[in-house]
Amino acid sequence: MARLRVRPEPTARPARKPPWIRARAPTSPEVQRLKAVLRAHRLHTVCEEASCPNLGECFGHGTATFMILG
């Protein structure tokens, strides 16, 4: 099997992501309420630190994941 070497062409600026791939930041009242509680207690979640794309879904249900002694 032959290997083909592919070298990317340098561009002046990086290509933009298509509109369908962009995720909107979660802004529902449930998400904002849970974030306020977390900030009031100076807590940080695994989801926030990892920039989880499903954060709005979990926070919307009142669920947060914490790492203990990690």
pTM flag (> 0.85):
no
Q: Residue 25 contacts by C-beta under 8 Å, 6 or more apart in sequence?
A: 56
pLDDT digits (tens, 9 = 90+) for 8-24: 777 788 788 888 887 77
Q: Would you call 25 exposed, middle or buried from its count of C-beta atoms within 10 A (0-12, 13-18, 19+)?
A: exposed
- Looking at the domain assignment, is residue 37 inside a domain? yes
- Looking at the domain assignment, is residue 43 inside a domain? yes
Mean pLDDT, residues 24-52: 89
Domain carrying residue 31: 26-70
- Looking at the domain assignment, is residue 67 inside a domain? yes
Q: pLDDT class for 70, splitting at 50, 70, 90? A: low
Domain total of the chain: 1
Q: Identify the pLDDT of residue 42.
A: 93
Q: Residue 16 contacts by C-beta under 8 Å, 6 or more apart in sequence?
A: none
Q: Identify the pLDDT of residue 68.
A: 86
Among 50, 25, 9, which residue's Cα sits nearest to residue 67?
50
- Looking at the domain assignment, is residue 31 inside a domain? yes
- Looking at the domain assignment, is residue 9 inside a domain? no
- Looking at the domain assignment, is residue 11 inside a domain? no
- Looking at the domain assignment, is residue 66 inside a domain? yes
